[in-house]
Amino acid sequence: MIGLTNRCRSDGCELIRRSARCVGNPILCCLTRIALSLFVTGRTPSSERAIVNLRRLCDERSDVQCDIRVVDVTENPHEAEQLHILATPMLVREAPLPLRRVIGDLSDMEKVFEALELHELRSNGK
């Protein structure tokens, strides 16, 4: 079951909440959450690829709840400035701490998992 909620449209943010399907231990599932923010510049081809790849990354997760925010830095420069976003597209893992960052369109899933330190959270073992 996947639910989508859009928020903050006026300030350039889009929040997409994906509900997890708990396989195995439902208590662990409820406690496991990944908060990701993807910073993009408008609707460029690179930004669009990053959005699609990020959604695919979270769709692979059946045991973890992914909270995704897509932030257009042209519409919301203050948030990008607060997190020191210097290049786009940039994905920031905000939870669990510490922050982790990946620059690019996220097309190499293995490198994204490694950079964000998500291998121990992968559900399918690939």
The pTM is what? 0.71
Distances (CA, A) of 41 to 18, 76, 94, 98: 23, 10, 20, 25
Q: Give, in words, the CATH class of 9-121.
A: alpha beta
pLDDT band at 61, cuts 50/70/90? low
Q: Beta 100-103 vs 65-72: how paired, if at all?
A: unpaired
The confidence score (pLDDT) of residue 37 equals 96
The confidence score (pLDDT) of residue 103 equals 95
12 vs 57: which has the higher pLDDT: 57
Instruction: Please write down the HEC assignment for all residues of the chain.
Output: CCCCCCCCHHHCEEEEEECCCCCCCHHHHHHCEEEEEEEECCCCHHHHHHHHHHHHHHHCCCCCEEEEEEEECCCCHHHHHHCCCCCCCEEEEEECCCCEEEECCCCCHHHHHHHCCCHHHCCCCC
Does residue 75 have a pLDDT over 80? Answer: yes
Q: What is the mean pLDDT of residues 21-31?
A: 40
Q: What is the mean pLDDT of residues 68-76?
A: 95
